[in-house]
Structure formats: C-alpha cells, structure tokens
Amino acid sequence: MTFQLPGQLATQPTPFYYYDLALLDQTLTALQAAAQPGNFQVHYALKANFNLPILARIKAHGLGADCVSGGEVQRALEAGFAPDHIVFAGVGKSDAEINLALAADIFCFNAESVPELQVLNELAGGQGRRARVALRINPNVDAHTHPHITTGLDANKFGISLQDLAGVVDSLDSLPHLELVGLHAHIGSQITELHVFAELSAKLNELQSWLEGRGHQLPHLNVGGGLGINYQDPDAQPIPDFAAYFGMFTQHLARRPGQQVHVELGRAVVAQCGTLVSRVLYVKESQQVRFAILDAGMTELIRPALYGSHHHIQNLSSQGVALPYDIVGPICESSDTFAKGTLLPETKRGDLIAIRSAGAYGEVMSSGYNLREKAAAVYQ
Ligand SMILES: *Cc1c(COP(=O)(O)O)cnc(C)c1O
C-alpha cells in the first residue's frame, strides 16, 4: 500500500490536515474485533484528536470516551457518548471540571491523590451524589518510551505511588460520597515493547490481591492506553496489532469472574489516519545544508519540536533523484524542524509534502504562535 492524496485535494490551500476516514473505520473494526471476544471495554482518549467527525466514527463503533479535562467531558457528551461510557483522569481536575462531570453522572473518575479524593468527596456530597472512583496508581513500571511520554515511574507526577496506596485506601473510610470501583494505571504512550504490559499486569495482580485482603472487591480494572504505532513505515502497518496488545492482558492479568477490563487508547486509534499536507515555499541551499522550507511548521505539528519525534515525510510531486534535506517550517524558532538529512526526491518550490501518521497529538496541539491561522481539516 502506498499513500495517495485524493485527487480533489490537490488544489486545497495548504497546510491542511487530511483524515482518511476509511482507514479510521478499518482501524476501529479491527480494534473491536480484537477487544470484544475478551470482553474488553475500549475508551477512546479524546486528547489524541477531538474533531467531531472523528468522534462520530469512534462512537459509532461502540467505544467509550477517556477524558482529561472538563472541556473533553463536554465534547464527549456533545459527540453523543453516553455518560456511563465516560471516564475522567488527570492530576489537576478543577472544582468546576469535577462538578461538570458529577452533574453528567459519568461512569468513573480516575483519581490521582488524597487531596483530590477529598475534594471529589466534598463536591459529590454537595450534589447529593456518590462518585464512582478508580484509584490511578503509579506502578513504577518503565514503559521504555520517550521520557516526555513516560507516566508510570516514581519520578512522574501522575498517579498514587505504591508507598502511599495504603494511606489512600484507609482515607476512603472517611469519604462517604465516594465508591471505589476499580484500579487504574496509564504508564505512558507510544509503547512498542509489549512485555511492558505484562509487567503492568503483574503489578495490578499484586495490588488487586492486596486490596481484596482489605475487603475491597473491584468490579473494574483499567489498564490505560499507550499502544504505539509504526511511525517509521506507516504503509507497512497502517493498523496496529491490537490482537497482540489484548493478548498480553488476556494472558497476564488475573481477572476475577465478571470483572470488566477497560483500556484507553488514543494514538493507536487515530494516528495513522491523519496526514499533514504542506507545500514547499523555498529550497535554500548553503554549503552545509539543503533546507526545504514548508508552509507548515510546529504551529501545526509540534511533536518533532517537543519530543524529537520522527514522522515519515514524502514528496508527492517529484520523482527526481534523492537528495538529503533538512525539512523545516516557517516559525521563528530553530526547533521548528520536522527532520534533518531526510532523503527526498529532488524538491522544488510548490511541491506537495505529506507528513504522515499525524492524526494523534497533531492538530490538537496546534497553536496560533506567530499569529498563524489554524490549518483546515478535510475528511475523505
Ligand atoms: C493520554 C492518555 C491515554 C491515551 O494514551 P495513548 O498513548 O494515546 O493511547 C490514556 N489514558 C490516560 C489517562 C491518558 O492521559
């Protein structure tokens, strides 16, 4: 399979995000085919991409929603996700955000600290409700991914550390407006070494037994998200290996009879269906470097500048002989660089450039820096 831009988009003003909804549908079909036999509940992490046409497809395939802000809870409700399929995580939930989610009667709060549980208890009491909570634990499992997207180590701000867990569980006795329904963990993103999920399962098994010893039966376990995708060669693997991913939990997680296992996937669902399409403004050659200067920059896709991430980049207009280019944007920052020394067919002003695998953490992180206009999103 090779990438092709639908012909009618050749005249679309650049830069723009192009979303391949057929690929999104195929991905969702494959995801649910892998999840449903094991009775896994899949929640889509809205923060990866919250465009309404994308959410509509995701909802149509029967996924729930994983939110990390009040705005995302509201967006999930607008997109038609049922409140009892919405979960809400985040280390810094504000009172207003908690109240909004309580009023909507969402399925579960993934709570990350004792002070948060106290506020949640108080606000739930104020609304005359009991909030369902899962304790987000920090299992101290190394996700073997980029340090900026690792979240499950002791040094990270997320979750309740194992040393603090006993105290947190004790504190629940004095928080009558909370109902403990599960354990939650999310250890990082772009995880490609699947054995990490076996280690996570082992930690959760231990904690589950320990909680049962204290009289807490858990109807739910939530193992978070983080499944990685193939950024190097998206055409070789447009759809992640969901069967292998769920297989890790089927094999390693000690599920109790009737217990529901929830996952929260973002990147693996939407990354490959999105492409940032740009045009070359200038080719600038110095003695050392040949720059291809694009009309898209870190304002449209910040991942390379923020994490040093790799995206596969293609020149859709040229068949020329391959030359190395530093591919940069127009923004007044030296980190506004998509790639260095990338081989492209000989490139000239006006050539169309595709920056692949940009559907997750792309458009959602765009900014108006340099007073840039927001790039359009087109769906085919
Ligand atoms: C970001 C996030 C996810 C999704 O992560 P992906 O790597 O995109 O799958 C899931 N759960 C929580 C709590 C998150 O913050």
Ligand 1 center to 267 CA (angstroms): 8
Q: What is the pLDDT along the chain (380 residues), one digit of tens a residue?
A: 579 999 999 999 999 999 999 999 999 999 999 999 999 999 999 999 999 999 999 999 999 999 999 999 999 999 999 999 999 999 999 999 999 999 999 999 999 999 999 999 999 999 999 999 999 999 888 888 887 777 777 777 788 988 889 999 999 999 999 999 999 999 999 999 999 999 999 999 999 999 999 999 999 999 999 999 999 999 999 999 999 999 999 999 999 999 999 999 999 999 999 999 999 999 999 989 999 999 999 999 999 999 999 999 999 999 999 999 999 999 999 999 999 999 999 999 999 999 999 999 999 999 999 999 999 999 99
Global pTM reads 0.96
- Scanning the structure block, which residue is given the tokens 């939930």? 93
Q: Which atom of ligand 1 is nearest to the CA of 227?
A: 9
Write phi, then psi, for 231 (nearest 5 degrees). Answer: -75, -30
In this structure, what token pair is assigned to residue 152?
Answer: 């499950």
Q: Ligand 1: distance of its center to the CA of 294 in Å?
A: 30
With b for 16 or more beta-carbon neighbours within 10 A and e for fewer, the 312-339 pattern comes to: bbbbbbbeeeeeebbbbbbbeeeebbbb
CA of 224 to the centre of ligand 1 (A): 6
Supply the residues annotated as catalytic.
332
Q: Which of 46, 50, 66 to mutate to test the pocket of ligand 1 (most atoms within 8 A of CB)?
A: 66
Binding residues for pyridoxal 5'-phosphate: 226, 264-267, 361
Mutate to test the pocket of ligand 1, among 144, 145, 189, 307 (most ligand atoms within 8 A of CB): 189
Output the ligand 1 site: residues, CB below 6 A.
45, 47-48, 66, 68, 89, 186, 189, 224-227, 264-268
In DSSP terms, 131 is beta-bridged to 178
Tokens 């709060």 belong to 109
* Alpha carbons 2 and 4: distance in angstroms, whole number: 7
Q: Which domains does the chain have, with CATH numbers?
A: 21-269 (3.20.20.10), 272-379 (2.40.37.10)
CA 286–ligand 1 middle distance (angstroms): 42
